[in-house]
């Protein structure tokens, strides 16, 4: 009897789980399908799900009109670069706060997070002027710098929570054995925190990849990443959904594939420390 209920429960939860999963996935699927339609069928009512004349015309058009590889390269450099620099800055910071907290550590953490609370457009003009004067407008270096700063609070917070889960006694033991601070971080702490660091890294690459406000406003022709590539396919006068969908599919494909391969790390990292 008890067993029967469990099975039924399992099935129910399975169906609900898959249902929710499909619901979340549906917009991406729909974008993908729309990218193979003509502009006419893309806006047809009722919407056509699978039975339409599939065409590669949109991909052809997008390829011939934009330099996709330039945008991808920019996106990769900007997202990976800003994440790596961010990690290099955040690991020591999070280490200090997790293992030798002071009276004010909590306040410092809160202050870091509070920098994220301001709507970015509020500092657009001052930052734009700084970028202009330093010659950083429309450069990858400028975008790497800004995204590093934007995402730094999140990186510090995530690493801090992961580091907190590591028992301080292990580090003490290493110290007893005569490990220097550097060795302690590199050989003891980092290996134990790898899942946490990996998931922080992946999440931040995704965040930086998707960041659309700064990347659009501080770039023009040279440093424009995929966000600008997508934004160029929306039209005030003329139908554009199919081409926009093709551009979107091409823009999310690299990051989706990366996420697919690293989902084990992601899940492990995100649930790291949840079970105690």
Partner 1 sequence: MLTRTLLLGAVSVLAMASFAHAETTLTIATVNNGDMVRMQKLTDDFAKKNPDIKLEWVTLEENVLRQRVTTDIATKGGQYDILTIGTYEVPIWAKQGWLLSLDGLGKEYDKSDLLPAISDAVSVDGKLYASPFYGESAMVMYRKDLAEKAGVKIPEKPTWDEIAEAAKKMTDKSSETYGICLRGKAGWGENMALITAMANTFGARWFDEKWHPQFDQPEWKKALTFYVDLMKEAGPPGASSNGFNENLALFQTGKCGIWIDATVAASFVTNPKDSKVADKVGYALFPTGAAGADNHGNWLWAWNLGIPASTKKAEAAQKFVSWATDQAYTELVASKEGWANVPPGTRKSLYANPEYDKAAPFAKITLDAMNAANTSKPTVKPVPYTGGQFVAIPEFQGIGTAVGQQFSAALAGSMKVDQALQGAQQLTTREMTKGGYIK
Which positions touch partner 1 (CB under 8 A)? 39-40, 43-45, 65, 124-125, 128-129, 132, 137-138, 216-217, 220-222, 224, 228, 231-240
Nearest to 198 by CA among 73, 84, 77: 84
Are the beta carbons of 131 and 142 closer than 8 angstroms? Answer: yes
Cα–Cα distance measured from residue 276 to residue 271, given in angstroms and rounded to the nearest whole number: 11
Q: Which helix (H) or strand (E) holds 189?
A: none
Concatenated DSSP letters of 210-264: H--HHHHHS-SSSS--HHHHHHTT--SSS--HHHHHHHHHHHHHHHHHHHHHTHH
CA distance 84 to 204: 9
Cβ nearer to partner 1, comparing 8 with 65: 65
Least distance to partner 1, CB of residue 49, Å:
18
For the CB of residue 64, give the shortest distance to partner 1 in the complex, in Å: 9
Smallest distance, Å, CB 239 to partner 1?
Answer: 6
User: Which of residues 15 and 56 has its CB atom nearest to partner 1 in the complex?
Assistant: 56
For partner 1, give the closer residue by CB, 235 or 263. Answer: 235
Closest approach, Cβ 242 to partner 1, in A, equals 11
| Residue number, 123 or 173, with CB nearest to partner 1 | 123
User: Measured from the CB of residue 76, what is the shortest distance to partner 1 in angstroms?
Assistant: 20
- In contact, 52 and 37? CB cutoff 8 Å: yes
Quick one: 200 or 219, whose CB is closer to partner 1? 219
How many other β-carbons are positioned within 10 Å of the β-carbon of residue 3? 7
């Amino acid at each position: 009897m008890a067993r029967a209920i469990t099975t039924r429960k399992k099935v129910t939860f399975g169906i609900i789980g898959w249902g929710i999963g499909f619901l979340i996935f549906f917009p991406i699927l729909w974008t993908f399908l729309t990218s193979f339609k003509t502009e006419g069928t893309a806006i047809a009512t009722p919407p056509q799900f699978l039975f339409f004349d599939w065409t590669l015309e949109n991909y052809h058009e997008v390829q011939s009109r934009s330099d996709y590889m330039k945008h991808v390269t920019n996106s990769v450099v900007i997202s990976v670069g800003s994440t790596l620099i961010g990690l290099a800055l955040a690991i020591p910071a999070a280490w200090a706060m997790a293992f030798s907290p002071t009276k004010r550590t909590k306040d410092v953490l809160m202050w870091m997070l509070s920098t994220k609370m301001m709507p970015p457009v509020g500092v657009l003009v001052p930052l734009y002027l700084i970028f202009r004067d330093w010659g950083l407008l429309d450069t990858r270096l400028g975008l790497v710098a800004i995204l590093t700063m934007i995402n730094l609070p999140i990186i510090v917070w995530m690493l801090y929570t992961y580091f907190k889960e590591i028992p301080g006694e292990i580090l003490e033991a290493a110290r007893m054995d005569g490990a220097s601070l550097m060795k302690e971080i590199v050989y003891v702490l980092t290996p134990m925190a790898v899942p946490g660091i990996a998931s922080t890294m992946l999440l931040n690459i995704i965040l930086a990849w998707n960041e659309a406000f700064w990347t659009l406003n501080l770039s023009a022709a040279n440093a424009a990443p995929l966000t600008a590539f997508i934004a160029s396919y929306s039209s005030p006068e003329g139908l554009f959904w199919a081409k926009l969908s093709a551009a979107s599919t091409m823009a999310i494909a690299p990051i989706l594939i990366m996420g697919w391969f690293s989902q084990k790390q992601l899940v492990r990292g995100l649930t790291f420390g949840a079970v105690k």
